[in-house]
Chains A and B, each alone.
Chain A
Amino acid sequence: MKLTRRDAVAALVGAGVIGGAGAAALARDGFQADSNAANGEGEGTEAIVEALVGTARAVYPSEVENVGGFVETYAATKLARRPDFRAGAADALSDLDAEARITFDARFAALDPVESETVLRRTGAETAEPDSEGTTAEQVRYYFVNEVLYALYGSPTGGELVGIENPQGHPGGTDSYRRRPDR
């Protein structure tokens, strides 16, 4: 199933990053405008976006397509508008990079999906409780794993993978709850 820009915008609305007007503007102007803004602001933004993309490639199901475009759109806007989140993610990324260097002698964003998954597992993020101020495992779970999982499963396409096109957190209107299932 292919993730679209619409999904990224939906995920941003669901995450409270943008409101209705912001969503309309972003959908119109596209990914370009906002990612430029993000690149200008705050050091390390690009590295965090790359690491979020790397995380998504490892933790998204294999049938999802266009992971890169989706996560980049989502992450660029989120990081531009949430400086606290960006700062926390930058901290967590240094731990993630350290783990990647120990295991594969490269920074996290340079790894392929299988290697990324190995590193994420080694941090303990798979079974950790998310906590923005916790241990490395808890921070990686919060800033990377859960961030991209929230973006996916809170968006219509991610929801549809499971059978719910209007997942919690997505303002999908008041028709879908009445619709008959198509299978």
Chain B
Amino acid sequence: MTAAGSGGRTGTPDRTPSPRVDVCVVGAGPAGALVASRLVDRGHEVVVLEAGPRFDRADRRERMERSIRPAHGARSVWNVGGERDAFTASGERFYPLNVARVKGVGGSTLHWQGMVMRLHESDFERQARDGVGADWPIDYADLRPYYSEAERALGVAGDADNPFAPPREEPFPMPAFSPSYSDSLFAEACEEAGIAMHSVPNARNSQPRDDRSECVGYGTCQPVCPSGAKYSADATIEAAESKGVRVLDSVPVQRLEPTDDGERVGAAVYTTPDGEEHRQEARQFVLAAGGVETPRLLLLSKAAEHPDGLANSSGAVGRYFMEHLFAGTGGRADRATRQNHVGFNTSESHQFYDNDFEKVDPIKLEFLNYAGPSPVEMALTADEWGDDLLDSLREAYGTHLAMGGLVGQLPRARNRVALDPTTTDDHGNPVPDIQWSLDDRTRRTLAKANDLQAQVFDHLDAGVEWVVGPENTGPAYHHMGTTRMGEDPDESVVNPRLRTHDVANLTVASSSVFVTSGAMNPTLTIAALALKAADHVDADL
């Protein structure tokens, strides 16, 4: 199983730069893929530079086997880690960066779960409404048409049954997945607890669409969907390539080189696997390298006119790093709960998203379809076999139930991605240093999420066996806020057109532009912003 280079099956691909193009996009995750796809549709010449490899689709089942069988570390599924991905986490809390991303054509969506919600109107105006955080310079209405387009681009299966969702004008592109059997157990308990359940929008085919299969129930969505039913951005990249976008893989961009006056980017400097350095020139540059590598690349691109890093006159590059935190409660019922048949969820509750902002932030509640152990995984790590093993598996599997939940963090300048000059990556560049901490408000919100989960479990015939809350929470792998958007060039990095205040031809498409985090998984908003960014770049070309 290999990670083939572009055109890899027929020898070494050409990784030399194109003559000056209209647009150079850095990063081939969903953000970069959608920008490239839209700009080629508008008739522009586009080159995408991607640090990681191209993963052959034919290898997906083998990657799935790797994900289930314990001999291969979880990160080996998508080749994450090593010197290329070295990092430091010097903050109050350790940040597990390499569990939280994938480098390659498709980006982190190769590994992601694929739940996709819109932010709520309140997320854009937390300061005005609640006196905390900051306000976005755009609002929900500005993004609303882009959200619809993003849902079509990713292929979202959903239903309009969610009474708490922000207004939408169109149905989802595909029908939602029906609720699971365990959802029906939760439904009874939630009714008694006064909690409303509804469907989950999934970037996952509930029917064949866009030449991709419908979900066939492999149950390994994270980290790999062998059928291709789960959206991953390599699909968008392939479609864009067929329309003429040029995508170079395994070419990490080392720095963006400004012109002498510092007003524009002249070239993206990248290296190829043979160690050669090249310069790709373009009229416009779009940085779409994810919420950690995007600020890192700006910080690495210091120049005479940009002594603190490119586009960093505000000092905000890398700052206001935000994550979503996981809150969960799990236990066992006195009956079968039928978990781990599929790897995604079919019910959530957004009832506590817009509530009580005085003390706590938004909460998203999830009802899991994969609580407790997967028998096959358990068998492969057991210290017994034969009838003893079967007895243990029967005892361990079958009656688990669990709820999850996400809460956000407010933006704080001290949480940041900086450079660690004492450690370098495989190209000699200082690695990212994630300085991350939690505050009391987030802890309070996690505690409230746990309270709500406890209320549901009180009404289930199920004992609670574990709780993940304020003391033992962990991140959801959503990197936000590190090149925040704003009107004021002294306070923010990009303007409402997603263009950097300081550099005229540099646009950022990423969750790094988020001003607040909300508590919804970020990628639909990333996709909507990427499409908006592409429109602005198009207008300027």
A and B assemble together: yes
Residues B380 and A170 in contact, CB atoms below 8 Å apart: no
Does A19 make an interface contact (CB < 8 A)?
yes
Number of A-B contacts (CB under 8 A): 158
Residues B71 and A142 in contact, CB atoms below 8 Å apart: yes
Chain B interface size, as a band, is 35 or more
> Contacting chain A: which of B217-225, B297-305, B349-357?
B217-225
For the complex, give the distance between the alpha carbons of A59 and B383 in Å: 11
Residues B69 and A130 in contact, CB atoms below 8 Å apart: yes
Most buried by A among B374, B384, B398: B374
Known interface pairs A16-B65, A130-B70, A161-B390; A169-B218 also in contact (CB < 8 Å)? yes
The interface residues of chain B lying within 8 Å CB-to-CB of A164 are 338, 340-341, 375, 397-398
Residues B341 and A166 in contact, CB atoms below 8 Å apart: yes
Residues A169 and B380 in contact, CB atoms below 8 Å apart: no
Closest CB in chain A relative to B205 CB, distance in Å: 10
For the complex, give the distance between the alpha carbons of A75 and B69 in Å: 17
The interface residues of chain B lying within 8 Å CB-to-CB of A172 are 216-217, 341
Known interface pairs A149-B380, A150-B380, A162-B375; A174-B61 also in contact (CB < 8 Å)? no
Does B162 make an interface contact (CB < 8 A)?
no
Among A16, A61, A176, the residue within 8 A (CB) of B341 is: A176
Known interface pairs A16-B226, A163-B336, A176-B217; A146-B380 also in contact (CB < 8 Å)? yes
Closest CB in chain A relative to B399 CB, distance in Å: 9
Does B210 make an interface contact (CB < 8 A)?
no
**Smallest CB gap from A147: residue in B:** B69
Closest CB in chain B relative to A34 CB, distance in Å: 17
For the complex, give the distance between the alpha carbons of A153 and B70 in Å: 14
Does B64 make an interface contact (CB < 8 A)?
yes
Does A180 make an interface contact (CB < 8 A)?
yes
Residues A169 and B385 in contact, CB atoms below 8 Å apart: no
**Smallest CB gap from B338: residue in A:** A181
The interface residues of chain A lying within 8 Å CB-to-CB of B68 are 150, 154, 168-169
The interface residues of chain B lying within 8 Å CB-to-CB of A127 are 383
B377-399 residues at the A interface, CB under 8 angstroms: 377, 379-380, 383-387, 389-390, 393-394, 397-398
The interface residues of chain B lying within 8 Å CB-to-CB of A158 are 376
> Contacting chain A: which of B91-99, B178-186, B245-253, B472-480?
B178-186
Residues A126 and B383 in contact, CB atoms below 8 Å apart: yes
For the complex, give the distance between the alpha carbons of A146 and B378 in Å: 11
Does B9 make an interface contact (CB < 8 A)?
no
For the complex, give the distance between the alpha carbons of A161 and B378 in Å: 14
Does B197 make an interface contact (CB < 8 A)?
no
Closest CB in chain B relative to A92 CB, distance in Å: 13
Closest CB in chain A relative to B87 CB, distance in Å: 26
For the complex, give the distance between the alpha carbons of A28 and B176 in Å: 35
Residues B71 and A162 in contact, CB atoms below 8 Å apart: no
The interface residues of chain A lying within 8 Å CB-to-CB of B394 are 161-163
Residues A19 and B375 in contact, CB atoms below 8 Å apart: no
For the complex, give the distance between the alpha carbons of A93 and B446 in Å: 52
The interface residues of chain B lying within 8 Å CB-to-CB of A168 are 68, 218-220, 340, 343, 374, 376-377
Does A15 make an interface contact (CB < 8 A)?
yes
Does B227 make an interface contact (CB < 8 A)?
yes
Residues A162 and B390 in contact, CB atoms below 8 Å apart: yes
For the complex, give the distance between the alpha carbons of A59 and B386 in Å: 4
26 of the cross-chain contacts (CB-CB < 8 Å) are A127-B383, A130-B70, A130-B380, A142-B71, A149-B376, A150-B65, A153-B376, A153-B393, A154-B376, A161-B393, A162-B393, A163-B397, A163-B398, A164-B397, A166-B341, A167-B340, A168-B220, A170-B217, A171-B217, A172-B217, A174-B216, A174-B217, A177-B338, A177-B369, A178-B179, A181-B181
Question: With contacts A63-B387, A179-B181 known, what are 20 further pairs, Cβ within 8 A?
Answer: A16-B59, A16-B65, A61-B390, A129-B70, A149-B380, A149-B385, A149-B389, A150-B68, A153-B379, A163-B336, A164-B375, A168-B220, A169-B65, A169-B68, A172-B217, A174-B215, A176-B338, A176-B341, A178-B179, A178-B180
Instruction: Report, nearest first, the 7 A-B pairs whose CB atoms are least far apart.
Output: A16-B61, A181-B336, A177-B341, A59-B385, A16-B62, A61-B390, A171-B216
Give B contacts to A, CB under 8 Å. 58-65, 68-71, 177-181, 206, 214-220, 226-227, 335-336, 338, 340-343, 346, 369, 374-377, 379-380, 383-387, 389-390, 393-394, 397-398
Give A contacts to B, CB under 8 Å. 13-17, 19, 58-63, 117, 126-127, 129-132, 142, 145-146, 149-150, 152-154, 158-159, 161-164, 166-174, 176-181, 183
